[in-house]
Amino acid sequence: MVGIVSYGGYIPRYRLSRMTVVQNMAWYFPVIMAVAGGEKAVANWDEDAVSMAVAAAYDCMEGRDRKTLNGIYLASTTLPFADRLNAGIVAAALNVPENGATNADFSACMKSGTTASLAALDAVASGRVTSILVAAADQRRTKMATMLEMFYGDGAAALLFGNKDVIAEFKGSYSVNCDFVDHYRGSGKDFDYSWEERWTRDLGYGKIIPEAIAGFLKKTGMKIEDFSKVIYPCYFGGTHKDIGKKIGVDGAKLQNNLHNNCGDTGAAHPLVMMAAALEDAKPGDKILLASFGQGCDVLAFEVTDKIKNLKPRKGVKGSLAHRAEFNNYQKFSKFRDLIKADLGIRGEASSNTSLTVLWRKRKFILGLVGGKCTKCGTPQIPVLPVCVNPKCHSVKTFEDYEFADKEAKVLMFTSDLLSASVDPPAVYGMVAFDGGGRTLLDFTDCEASGVKVGMKVKMSFRKRYTDGTRGFTGYFWKAVPQMEGGAA
């Protein structure tokens, strides 16, 4: 049996009400008032497609041995590197074995998430591998006061495909590939260029998705009424319902398109919706998943009894519940680098990233791997030649010890208005990990006024800096205080 073994989701904590955009920018383009309902998920300034993919992947692999992964496929249209394996960064952050794995990037199309899923299913079905993790994420920049600014949101999802403990068996697929261009982003351009909405609605979503689903049903002999849930992305609410009518599905069986909750998350959205559907799925449910982008991929799954044994995870539902109002449009614009602001003299330093150091320290920098003394069992990060335990002080007696999945608590912290920061004040401090080990980390997704000594924190893979001169993004782990609600 081949299919989905696990799933995970990640929606950024911050939510921007579309009415906030209207209040700030409708003077320039009043048409956006027509789509002012709901809110969109907003990635923090230190998040991108890679960091969100890591978050979704960790959620997907909750309670599972990451060492057993045979590869990672990353799907996104907003990958930070044009010539560097972005999936390799995700693999390093997960501390996946480097030998014997196959990692790959899937990009340049909104349906790249489902295309990557089909490739993973083929690899598992061939017997060459036993498990492939597919992560999809997008963080798309838009021009201010545009319809795309209203429609687009940020997010990620991950599906683990394998042949053991399958929770949703793969039942078949059908694909349509055609060069229908509803929008595009030219090489070297920052923003999508979109054609008129009627074109996208009527001849794009409204025609291609129904034709692809009809093709799937004809190929497999299945009937649309056999499915408990039907999933396809479409941020036009009326068109989303009309597609359901065209294919003969009543509204109760249509998966919520999440437009009012987080917006359209690009290449990730079909997988985000799939993860949300699996959160409520029961054994025997049949799920039809379709994507859109220069065609359409259609995949069918049937939920098995194994879903009852899947360890609970935060998922899409948990991410949506863990939200904070983001009501500062100027801050949002700065986070997206749509306005220029001076970071001051302290922000002028632009040192060249040492690729040799990154290679030598890759387990620590990307995987947050420290050490554990084999003599006394004391964890420490970073690893030094001598054990920090005053009763031990053994030399070079360490084995790898992962800290990324460990919870910690705040020992001490400060908020610093003098340090260069996109989101001042910079908050950082000392954290102590459950089970041992302590280190100094930046804090993120928090307000300085809400951080307290003793507060729990979780680790999150984030952008540490962006070297605009050389086009390099550096990553490291940050601490996320577990605060409820709030505003940015």
Q: Which residue has the tokens 């990353």?
A: 74
The pLDDT score that the predictor gives to residue 468 is: 87
Question: What does the pLDDT look like over 220-249, one tens digit per residue?
Answer: 999 999 999 999 999 999 999 999 999 999
The pLDDT score that the predictor gives to residue 349 is: 75
Contact 393, 367 (CB under 8 A): no
**CATH topology assigned to domain 3-335:** Peroxisomal Thiolase; Chain A, domain 1 (3.40.47)
361-368+403-481: CATH number: 2.40.50
Q: Where are the domains of the chain?
A: 3-335, 361-368+403-481
- Integer Cα distance of 261 and 267 in angstroms: 17
Question: What does the pLDDT look like over 411-455, one tens digit per residue?
Answer: 999 999 988 899 999 999 999 999 999 999 999 999 999 999 999
Run of H or E residues at 285: none
Topology agreement, domain 3-335 and domain 361-368+403-481:
no
Inter-CA distances, 323 with 27, 326, 415, Å: 28, 9, 22
> How, if at all, do strands 456-467 and 472-481 pair?
antiparallel
What beta strand segments (E) does 220-310 contain? Answer: 229-231, 286-290, 295-303
Question: What does the pLDDT look like over 349-358, one tens digit per residue?
Answer: 777 899 999 9
363, pLDDT greater than 80:
yes
Q: What is the mean pLDDT of residues 18-31?
A: 97
pTM over 0.85: yes
For 353, residues 6+ apart whose C-beta sits below 8 A from its C-beta are: 467, 470, 472, 474
